[in-house]
Amino acid sequence: MRKTTWVIILALGLLLASCAPGGGRYRKDRPAGFLSGIWHGWIAPVTLIVGIFDGNIRVYEINNSGWWYDFGFYIAIIGGFGGLSLTRKKRKRFDE
């Protein structure tokens, strides 16, 4: 069961990295936009790790549309990581 979990996590990470920034999908005439910024912000932790092993993969797309891409990226980073704390179970403390 443990090996299966790691294989699934690795496969999911590779799948997410297939849409990673810096892969050559975007060009100056067709830059990454707002929705791409959101996607790249959500997968930023995965692309950071994959970028260690692949020099073409970046956390942030250089060929972007400017402010709208930055806004989408920022929203995803803040919302994605901050949202995780909302799903944690909080342990009740009883005062004695």
Four-CA torsion 7, 12, 18, 22, nearest 10 degrees: -100
Exposure string (b/e) for 56-79, b if CB count within 10 Å is 16 or more? Answer: ebbbbbebbbeebbeebbeebbee
Q: What average pLDDT does this structure show over 71-94?
A: 71
Q: How confident is the model at residue 67 (pLDDT cuts 50, 70, 90)?
A: very high
Counting every residue written for the chain, the total comes to 96
Q: What average pLDDT does this structure show over 26-52?
A: 86
pTM exceeds 0.85 = no
pLDDT of residue 52: 87
Q: pLDDT tens across 18-37, in order?
A: 677 766 778 888 898 898 88
pLDDT of residue 85: 55
Write the single-letter amino acid at 14: L
pLDDT of residue 70: 93
Domain chopping of the chain, boundaries: 30-84
